[in-house]
Amino acid sequence: MITDRSLGQPIPTLLLMGRILLPFAAIGLLLTRFVPHPCREFISISCFVVLAACIVLSTPYLMLAELCFYAMSRLPFPKSLAVGAWLNHAMLLAAVAVCLWRTWVLWPAYLAKKKPSSARKVSAPWWGYVLGGMAVLGLSTVMAYFFHFQD
């Protein structure tokens, strides 16, 4: 028996409000360039928060994932490769992964999450996934080296 079914399903009120507010937040974010400088920061931050809320805040699990990302952004980036330095980041990313996985599993059937695939569709070979994973890991390592470990 699944006890967290309500946490992975969208809240209808938030979905409706998101559909109504999303265009206004996007337009407001685009128009902040033409607003006088003293008001620009307040308007851009509020429009960005509303835009993020409209996109992400539809289920409690997605809200928790967004809070984990926010907490991770507040942590200082580790300057060493020690396990203890990366432990908080890894735990927060694991919590995000669990929240996203539970949202995917518990998403209601009446809100289609993807189109049904055709029977003729061939999946990618296993080595494509391995090469893609190695490319992502390599790119992340190069970015971390150039942006953070060159003091």
Q: The pTM is what?
A: 0.59
151 inside domain: no
Asked if residue 113 belongs to a domain, the reply is: yes
In a domain, 62, yes or no: yes
Question: Domain for residue 129, yes or no?
Answer: no
How high is the pLDDT of residue 118?
A: 61
Q: CA-CA distance, 53 to 25, in Å (whole number)?
A: 10
pLDDT of residue 59: 82
More confident residue, 7 or 68: 68
Q: How many domains does the chain have?
A: 1
- Give the mean pLDDT of 48-68: 81
pLDDT band of 151, cuts 50, 70, 90: low
**Residue range of the domain that includes 113:** 5-120
Q: Of 68, 62, 28, whose CA–CA distance to 44 is shortest?
A: 28
CA distances from 20 to 14, 39, 51, 54 (A): 10, 24, 11, 9
Q: What span, in angstroms and rounded, lies between the C-alpha atoms of 77 and 81?
A: 11
User: Is 140 inside a domain boundary?
Assistant: no
Question: Does residue 72 form part of some domain?
Answer: yes
Could you read off the pLDDT of 86-104 as tens digits, one per residue? 899 999 999 999 998 888 8
| 47 within domain boundaries | yes
Is residue 147 a part of any domain in this protein?
no
Q: Is the pLDDT of residue 61 over 70?
A: yes
